[in-house]
Amino acid sequence: MVPPTGSSSTEDLVTEVLQTLSKTDPILSTEAFAQVPFESIKAALDRLASRSMVTYEQVEREEALLEPEAETIVSHGSHEARVFEVVRKAMGGLSIQQLEKEVGDKSITKLGSGKAFKEKWIKKDGSSIVALVSVDSINDVTREQLRTIQEKRTHEPKILAELKKRKLLKMQKIISFKISKGPKFALEMVKEETDLTAEMLASGSWKSATFKPYNFKALGAEQHAGALHPLNKVRSEFRQIFFEMGFTEMPTNQFVESGFWNFDALYVPQQHPARDLQDTFYISDPKTAGRPEDVEYMENVRQVHQNGKFGSIGYRYPWSEEESLRLVLRTHTTSVSAAMLYKLAAENVGGRVPPARYFSIDRVFRNETVDATHLCEFHQVEGVIADYGLTLGGLMEFMDIFFGKMGVTNLMYKPAYNPYTEPSMEIFSYHKGLNKLIEIGNSGMFRPEMLEPMGLPKDLKVFGFGLSLERPTMIKYGISNIRELLGHQVDLTAIQKNPAVRLDKN
């Protein structure tokens, strides 16, 4: 016998199946392994079938199951037989009340006597009931039928129907496996080799070894390969567009900047609200940067802020070198653009500063209250074009082409203000899904107050633009809360599952 629980290992069960099958073929799982759980027997059979040691098919059939009342009939006889027995023993007959008393159950008496009258085993003689036949001539058919069913779990359909109507049994659906010997049937499971090894070749044991066949239907283990974060995917799309359009990438690995490069070089006055503590993170240790090597440039910046220079009247306030040397977490990558343009000013190609196109995509930090669309840090996409004869119309055309490559069309522009650009424009696009105009970027022509202190020629015009990487990513990936994109609420499974390629370009 197989243990009644699923505790026997598949290994044991496999041996059990083979041994049972060697004696009888075929076997029914519900008969031979009545107590083994369905899943366990299936696992064992699958293992054997994969080696052609057995074949099996699932069969469904109905079994008759005795109700408790029927069990009583099997052990004590049918109602009518019990009634007859009492009447027969009473010899001279007995009244209904006496019969009830002797049988001990009113309803058994009622049902049983009815049937016994019909079978002509008993009859009424005045007020008493008497037996009509002798013991051996009565045949307790019901009891016999139920006994057969108890043993075989089935009977002729007519009989089953009749007993079912009398509520003595119910039918139950049984799923079992019909198991037969397979072409490679054996009493033991041979170890199957999964690899052909050098040792097997050397010893010649490969000749008699059994090799496990390839399972081409197997799904294979899940590959936990790296997955790109949506921000990374959109980032590489932007990078690709920049490269296509002739840009070179700026080095942005320096998150800490001096106020000088983050603000002063960009002609952001020292009283500007963006420089307040509630907007900018200041570094406490160390607090300040060293003085820049190019004192002349710094002096130019001081003058253009304080008294005006290069044809500008300036802001006219006392500019503080100390303030400009305070260290900050960069609030935009325009600080990097400024440093790159400063370097560009020193270049000379064919007797002039060459045109240039720079871009970067990296982190910036702002002291924001965190909500569904704001974090203290985000990624800024930034582009700068320096060339001779650039116009505002050229910037708008460039934007159309640039965003068009991302699938963003029908741009609209709104005048805006940045201390470092004039004119400045916010860029909007109508978003069909959200059914509204959304701001997608900020742009402008860099001011002479920013470019000329660096030594860039007057006729070299520079335009720039910036946008967050998070916003287009959230729109493209249908993310409504920025905290699902960055930080500890990010669902790694979602990142692993999101498609490698989006087909939303057109």
Piece in contact with ligand PHE (CB under 6 A), picked from 97-105, 180-188, 429-437, 460-468: 460-468
Among 265, 466, 477, 482, binds ligand PHE (CB under 6 A): 466
Residue 468's closest CA among 363, 339, 329, 384? Answer: 363
103: number of Cβ within 10 Å: 20
Query: By rule CB under 6 A, what count of residues binds ligand PHE?
Result: 11
Instruction: Report the residue number, 323 or 422, with the smaller CB distance to ligand PHE.
Output: 422
Instruction: Report the residue number, 464 or 472, with the smaller CB distance to ligand PHE.
Output: 464
Smallest gap from Cβ 416 to ligand PHE, in A, equals 9
What is the C-alpha to C-alpha distance for residues 178 and 54, in angstroms, rounded to an integer? Answer: 10
Q: Per-residue x/- marks for ligand PHE, 360-399, CB under 6 A?
A: ----------------------x-----------------
Piece in contact with ligand PHE (CB under 6 A), picked from 131-139, 257-265, 322-330, 439-447: 439-447
What is the C-alpha to C-alpha distance for residues 51 and 375, in angstroms, rounded to an integer? Answer: 59
Site for ligand PHE in 405-424 (CB under 6 A): 418, 421
Residue 395 phi/psi, 5-degree rounding, is -65, -40
Smallest gap from Cβ 421 to ligand PHE, in A, equals 5
Instruction: Report the residue number, 258 or 418, with the smaller CB distance to ligand PHE.
Output: 418
Instruction: Report the residue number, 467 or 485, with the smaller CB distance to ligand PHE.
Output: 467
- Is position 263 an interface residue for ligand PHE (rule: CB under 6 A)? no
Smallest gap from Cβ 335 to ligand PHE, in A, equals 9
Position with the least CB separation from ligand PHE: 466
Looking at residue 113, its amino acid is: S
**Contact between residue 270 and residue 317 where contact means Cβ atoms under 8 Å apart:** yes
Smallest gap from Cβ 442 to ligand PHE, in A, equals 4
**Contact between residue 461 and residue 386 where contact means Cβ atoms under 8 Å apart:** yes
Smallest gap from Cβ 295 to ligand PHE, in A, equals 27
Site for ligand PHE in 100-159 (CB under 6 A): none
Handedness of CA 242, 246, 249, 250 (dihedral sign): negative
- Is position 443 an interface residue for ligand PHE (rule: CB under 6 A)? yes
Instruction: Report the residue number, 365 or 465, with the smaller CB distance to ligand PHE.
Output: 465
- Is position 464 an interface residue for ligand PHE (rule: CB under 6 A)? yes
What is the C-alpha to C-alpha distance for residues 313 and 294, in angstroms, rounded to an integer? Answer: 23
**Contact between residue 111 and residue 79 where contact means Cβ atoms under 8 Å apart:** yes
SS3 labels along 259-325:
HHHHCHHHCCCCCCHHHCCCCCCECCCCCECCCCCCHHHHHHHHHHHHCCCCCCCCCCCCCCHHHHH
What is the C-alpha to C-alpha distance for residues 10 and 388, in angstroms, rounded to an integer? Answer: 80
**Contact between residue 444 and residue 452 where contact means Cβ atoms under 8 Å apart:** no
**Contact between residue 298 and residue 260 where contact means Cβ atoms under 8 Å apart:** yes
SS3 labels along 319-365:
CCHHHHHEEEECCCCHHHHHHHHHHHHCCCECCECCCEEEEEEEEEE
- Is position 444 an interface residue for ligand PHE (rule: CB under 6 A)? yes
Q: Per-residue x/- marks for ligand PHE, 309-348, CB under 6 A?
A: -----------------------x-x--------------
Smallest gap from Cβ 310 to ligand PHE, in A, equals 19
Among 176, 300, 429, 442, binds ligand PHE (CB under 6 A): 442
Which residues contact ligand PHE (rule: CB under 6 A)? 332, 334, 382, 418, 421, 442-444, 464-466
